[in-house]
Amino acid sequence: MAHVSTLIVILPLLGYLLVLINGSRLTERQIGYVATGVVGLSFVASVVTFVLLLHRHSRQVTVHLFNWIDVGTLHVPAALLIDPLSITMCLFVTGISALIHLYSIGYMHGEKDYKKFFLYLNLFVFSMLTLVLANNLVLTFVGWEGVGVCSYWLVSYYFDRDSASSAGKKAFIYNRVGDVGLLLAMFLLFSRTGTLTYVGVFARAGSLSPTVATLVVLALLLAATGKSAQIPLFNWLPDAMEGPTPVSALIHAATMVTAGVYLLVRMSPVLAISSSGRLTIAIIGGVTAFVAATIATSQKDIKKVLAFSTVSQIGYMVLAVGVGAYAAAIFLMVSHAFFKALLFLGSGSVIHALNGEQDLRKMGALQRFLPLTFPTFLIGWLTISGVPPFAGFWSKGDVLTNVFEHNKILWVLGVVTAILTAYYMSRLFVLTFRGTERFREVTHGHDPHESPWVMTLPLVVLAVLSVLGGLLDLPWIHHDSLAGFLSSTFGYVAPLHAQSTLSQYGLAAVDVAAALIGLAAAISIWRSRTEDERLTPAFLEHVWYWDDFYDATIGRPLEELAVFSDVVVEDEVIDGGVMGLAVGISRSAESVRKIQSGFVRHYALAMMLGTAVLVVFLVARVS
Amino acid sequence: MTTVPVVSSSITIPSIHYLAILPVIILLGASVVLVFATALVRTKVTQFVASSVTVAASVAVLVVTYFQWRCLDSSGPSTTIAHAIVLDGFSVVATGVVAVSLLMATLVAHDWALRERIVGAEYQILALAASAGAVLMTQANDLVVIFLGLEILSLGLYVLVAFDRHRHTSAEAALKYFLLGGFASAIFIYGAALVYGATGSTNLSTMSYFLASNVLTHPGLLYAGFALLIVGFSFKIAAVPFHLWSPDVYEGAPTPVTGFMASIVKVGAFAAFVRVLISALGTQIDTWRPILWVLVVLTTVVGASVALLQRNAKRMLAYSSINHAGFILLGIWAGTTRGVASTLFYIVTYAPTVVATFAVVTLVGGLGDENHSIGGYRGLARRQPWLGASMCVLLLSQLGAPLTSGFYAKYSVLASTIDVGGSPLALIALLSAAIAACFYLRWSSALYSDEPVEATRIVVPLSTGIVIGVGVAMTLVFGIWPGPLVTLCQHATLLFTP
Amino acid sequence: MIATSYAVPSIIVFVGAAIIIIVGALGVITFKNPVHCALSLIMTLFGVAIAFIAQQADFLAAVQIIVYAGAIVVLFLFVIMFLGVDRTDHVHVEPLVAQRPLAALGVVITLGGLVALMAQSHWVTGVMSASTDGKPLESGTANVHQLGTSVFTTYLFAFEATAALLVIAVVGAVLLARRERTLQADEVEV
């Protein structure tokens, strides 16, 4: 098992190295297949590990690779922690990544930096798996940073476009702010528990005082808001849509953004100690879900809608974590990975068909031309809207049921968000596939064409998964399904009050009603129009003016400080000081160098005098 | 007629643990084989044959060190041949470093000899002998043996420094080195004699035992002795103010020889220095510590600041190596087990880095070995990305940048210094590192400069390329993943550590 | 104190030997003519031989005279003859003004300091040597015996290493002397 689980991580790295070293000798297609193949094999290794783990009595295995850092009391091994949580993550990360790799072979066909793209993609998967499988926070942090930097490279993949390169920077900087949180959490935990391995921290979690635990949780939350695009660090994600669409699907829907949620779930034993910390998490999640959903209703770019929808869905997951429903969070994460990857890849297929056009106003009536994309996208739409019996209904229902138990206000917010979700997705769907043809201008009058099989095959697989994903964790078999499998890895979870079957059906009915209201409203409104100022107010379209707010409160003052530092502090104080010091050192060194005359007798003299001083010192010491 | 006195007892030859002295035997044996081959075979011994023999010998030494380590694991450290030689972790690791340095330096010198059309096996003969001297120093448990090792090492190097027939600076440097080296050796042996007078033995273990079991009411003689020993060692490691020979010699010597010197002299001299101060004179730490304190301050600060003024790559590296010597001394100053381990770690990581650095300098030096101004490195990384990046990594490692082995090396000596309350000293050393950063960074940024420079493309021969690659790889691997090496150095403690 | 372990006549012998040694050594470094230097060296070595005899190390004294004063200095003289006696080196320029006074000062301080240190300490070796298990050195053949014993026991390894040192010294010297001269064109001009 140790070997197989090591393979999960090593294979993508191997692929990276293979392509890096042989890249110039391989054809475009070979590069694509190598990169896809290693991730596929990694998925196979995950499955094997999963099966092996199922047959073990103790479902927590540490695979020690080597001692990485041994400094004083800090011992950080490079070791993997195989447990239900990490293997669940591995399964869907490698599975979906493999599909997206396959899809990219078609989508990226003919791009200039084809090789580079797959290099980054493999490196990204490697980082993500390191993050997930690490048995300690430091190694997780390595993966965390690796994911961050790969996402920077991939977002600014079209770096000759200004918007792409600045989006990359934005993503990176927002992530860095979040990273501070993770570092702070690590420092705090190390100073209080003396260890950074998960198992060690959890064993000593009980000794943390509630204040420290709350601080740790808040620091972790900061980290999670950065990586998972939650308020206040959420608005890098929509900009990150500048990257190629497979990147959006892989990073900004299925894997990277779930890292924050994963971290919170992983640290659940610490979360269990701090109820105020959990409440903060729940509020952040709920509010983010709502805010992002409102913004998604007014976007004109197909990928932007999906991006805000991602933010909103992750808000749900964070909300679930906040109320202690970790299994529900993971369930939603997995099913979201299915349907959001499906939607992104579907939208990629649409964009591909329209020669790169992303504006919803220039689409419409594509149903006829995209015979495979249309039905799969339809499934994705129904799934995210929460229509039974698709996966979204079950997973979102699971979250909302748990929230209802803990906090009625947040539950109401959740239901409103559900209505909004159904609404904006239906708007997207209708504008894209129904209505009148508005794309002739971008296709130069040609008919749009369906994508090649490497692109449609992943769509079909993901569509099937979206339909069946609910089976992972149906409400009446909680203990024998995902939730039961995962439960051993969580900290203390307050048991749900035994809800009556009636109230469960009631809640489910509310969910269905919310979905249907949203669908009906959107279809009736957007069937006949493509634009409406009243329904897409500028306030929402411009993301609640969030960027302008940051610009005014943080950006400008910082820039002024930077200018001040540059002109006054740097030039006058530091530069002056350093130059002064440098001149001083040079002057004194110059005089020392004079001794370096090249004459042996001078050298011997220096030695003699050195010896004399030494002897005098010892004479003084003896007497 | 007088009667011949009857011999009262027969001589018992001390037992010999051959595994312990096998590295020296291999190196000297290979050297002698080459001497004979040169003398007896009618055709000239080709570079290829000579280098192959040398490489084989150094690989054999590495294999032997592996078995020595296994022997240590099973039966612990020991002394042999009337306690003249030690087999302990420290000596084994240091011997391994000498072998690696010899191996790398030989590969570099091979290509250099082909480039400069040097025939014959002289270089290899002397390099092997010098390495044998260095190994002797790492193993010696007797002042006499240390002295002999030192002389074997030095004699080999004197001739190697004079090896370049085309530049008069080479012969001049050798003469300077020889004269001053002789001076230092005389001081050293006088010191050894005085220590013998004070303790009744030249054997380090006996000395240590004597000093531990007797309190010297009048230690003046002992002090005088070890003061002179310290001067002798300081000369070899080029500690300020006994360093003045080193820039001239580094510059004058053929570049591959400089790289070889910079690594194995440091290994041998520091190993013996550690053994003398910590094993034998550990009880006198309160007396030698202040001396080392001053040496460290002078060495680090002068090394770093004078390096700033150099325009010649080899001279700059000479001062940089002086600065490094100061850092390595820090570990000895600490005088603890951790200090010894960090000194060893520093040496282990520094040796391959410096050989690889001089390998690049050899290549850039070009035919005739004369193009050594820093200006020659302008834009190297733009023209030849791999070579330039390698040099950049090697320089950054010497600077002590994170993710290179130099970082952890500096960190560990500083940490062991602070452990025993040497924060001011650590601070001074750190400041010197900051000064040193200036010229390392200036050099590395020159590598990436955009200015168009007229320069011919440097051909990287295979074996030199391998050396540079290995050096960079070791620098990075030990930088990113120092764990195993740290563990190794921690296990490689001295036999008689206090 | 040093004096306590010696009888008065030995002090006279010691002082005499010491004067011979030091005067000889000074001669080596001050004479301009290399032949004179070599002869001064003989004087020093001779003084050392006397010191050995005073310590009852007769064998070493004999070796000192025969090998060093005899063979080695004669070799020196040969080399000097080969190279030409008249080659002298003059220090024309002395950029560091205080070079000589400073050097003298350094030497005086160092030696003074060393003597001061030695004057007030215990000697463990000497007549009661640790290497002979506390027995005084015997004169005559037993002296050679003791020397041989310690060379083949205590200093066995050092003895062998010396062999290696000598081999390397010879090889190095040969290599330096045998180097092909590539600058022959230069010499033709002269």
The predicted pLDDT at position C186 comes to: 40
Average per-residue pLDDT for chain C = 77
The set of residues, in sequence order, having a beta carbon less than 8 Å from that of C145 and lying 6+ positions away, is B5, B7
Please state the separation of Cα A363 from the chain's center in Å. Answer: 29
The pLDDT, as a whole number, for residue B469 is 95
A609 and C106 within 8 Å at the Cβ level: the answer is: yes
- Integer Cα distance of A52 and A63 in angstroms: 14
Binding-face residues of C in 89-128 toward A, CB within 8 A: 95-96, 99, 102-103, 105-107, 109-110, 113-114, 116-117, 120
Nearest CA in chain C to B34: C171
Longest dimension (CA), chain B: 93
The pLDDT, as a whole number, for residue B438 is 85
Residue-wise over A72-103: b if at least 16 C-beta within 10 A, else e? eeebbbbbbbbbbbbbbbbbbbbbbbbbbbbb
- φ and ψ at residue A81, rounded to 5 degrees: -110, 110
**Residues B301/B170, Cβ–Cβ less than 8 Å:** no
Domain boundaries, chain B: 18-491
Per-residue pLDDT tens over the stretch A204-238:
888 888 888 899 999 999 999 988 888 888 888 88
Highest mean pLDDT among A66-80, B438-452, C20-34, C113-127: C20-34
- Minimal CA separation from A604 to chain C, in Å: 9
A618 and B220 within 8 Å at the Cβ level: the answer is yes
In this complex, the chains that touch B, judged by 3 or more CB pairs closer than 8 A, are A, C
Handedness of CA A409, A410, A415, A419 (dihedral sign): positive
Hey, are the CB atoms on C157 and B224 less than 8 Å from each other? no
Q: Which of B457, B439, B221, B417 is CA-nearest to residue B336?
A: B417
Name the 3-class secondary structure at B27: helix
Q: What is the DSSP letter of B86?
A: E
Query: What are A489-522's pLDDT values in tens digits?
Result: 776 665 555 566 777 788 888 888 888 888 888 8
Residues A360, A530: Cα–Cα separation, whole Å: 8
Report whether pLDDT(B91) > 50. Answer: yes
Each residue's pLDDT tens digit, C72-126? 888 888 888 877 666 555 555 666 677 788 888 999 999 999 888 888 776 665 4
Three-class DSSP labels, A262-317:
HHHHHCHHHHCCCHHHHHHHHHHHHHHHHHHHHHHCCCCEHHHHHHHHHHHHHHHH
Q: Are A84 and A54 in contact (CB under 8 A)?
A: no
| Closest residue in A to C102 (Cα–Cα) | A605
Per-residue pLDDT reduced to its tens digit, B339-374? 999 999 999 999 999 999 999 999 998 888 888 888
CB contact under 8 A, B305 and A585: yes
Q: What's the pLDDT at A477?
A: 67
Task: Report the share of chain B in percent with pLDDT over 90.
Answer: 59
Is residue A120 within 8 A of residue A150, CB to CB? The reply is yes
C165 closest CB neighbour out of B31, B32, B151? B151
Size of interface A-B (CB pairs under 8 A): 93
For A324-360, what is each residue's pLDDT tens digit?
888 888 889 989 988 988 998 888 888 888 887 888 8
Structure tokens at B389: 């990046």
Best of B228, B289, B305 to disrupt the A interface (most A CBs within 10 Å) is: B305
Mean pLDDT throughout A64-74?
79
* pLDDT at residue C187 in the model: 38
pLDDT of residue B293: 94
> Is residue B265 scored above 90 in pLDDT?
yes
The reported pLDDT for the residue numbered B495 is: 75
**pLDDT at residue B498 is higher than 60:** no
B157-167: average pLDDT: 87
pLDDT of C93: 63
Residue C5 has pLDDT above 70, yes or no: no
Measured CA to CA, the distance from residue B137 to residue B157 in angstroms comes to 15
Q: Residue B138 CA to chain centroid, in angstroms?
A: 10
Cα–Cα nearest to A230, from A277, A279, A289: A289
- In this predicted complex, what is the ipTM? 0.90
Which pLDDT score is estimated for A205? Answer: 82
For residue C106, list chain A residues with Cβ-Cβ distance below 8 A.
605, 608-609, 611-612
- Please report all neighbours of C, defined by 3+ CB atom pairs within 8 A: A, B
Q: What is the pLDDT of residue B3?
A: 52
Chain A contact present for B200, CB below 8 A = no
Among A21, A592, A595, the strongest candidate for a mutation testing the B interface, having the largest count of B CBs within 10 A, is A592
Q: Give how far A593 is from chain B: nearest CA, Å.
A: 7
The verdict on a CB contact (< 8 Å) between C158 and B144 is: yes
Give pTM, 2 decimals.
Answer: 0.72
B168 and B176 Cβ atoms separated by less than 8 Å? no
Given a cut of 80, whether residue A529 has pLDDT beyond it is no
**B148 pLDDT exceeds 90?**
yes
Q: Tens digit of pLDDT for each residue in B304-332? A: 988 888 889 999 999 999 999 999 999 99
Burial, A495: exposed, middle or buried (Cβ in 10 Å; 0-12, 13-18, 19+)? exposed
- Written as six digits, the tokens of B472 are 């960079």
Q: Residues B202-210: what's their mean pLDDT?
A: 89
- Give B480's strand partners: none
Nearest residue on chain A to C95, alpha-carbon basis = A597
pLDDT in the model for residue C85: 63
From A564-578, B61-75, B253-267, the region with the lowest mean pLDDT: A564-578
Place of tokens 């004979």: B36
Q: How confident is the model at residue B497 (pLDDT cuts 50, 70, 90)?
A: low
Chains B & C: contacts with CB separation below 8 Å: 130
Mean pLDDT score across all residues of chain B = 90
* Domain residue ranges of chain C, discontinuous segments joined by +: 1-87, 142-181
Above 60 in pLDDT, residue C4? no
Domain boundaries C1-87, corresponding CATH code? 1.20.120.1200
How far away is chain C from the Cα of B124, in angstroms, using its nearest Cα?
12
Which residues in B lie closer than 8 A to residue A585 (C-beta atoms)? 305, 308, 435
pLDDT in the model for residue C128: 38
HSE (CB half, 13 Å, CA atoms) of A262? 30
Q: Which of residues 11-30 of B touch C (CB under 8 A)?
A: 11-14, 21, 24, 28
Q: pLDDT-derived band of residue B146, with 50, 70 and 90 as boundaries?
A: very high
pLDDT tens, C119-157? 877 666 544 344 444 455 555 567 788 888 888 888 899
Binned at pLDDT 50, 70 and 90, residue B40 comes out as confident
Residue A186 to residue A270: CA distance in whole angstroms: 12
Mean pLDDT in chain A?
85
pLDDT score at C88: 56
| pLDDT on residue C129 | 42
| Range with the poorest average pLDDT among A212-221, A453-462, A523-532 | A523-532
What are the tens digits of pLDDT across the range A573-591?
777 777 777 777 777 777 7
- Note the pLDDT of residue C47: 93
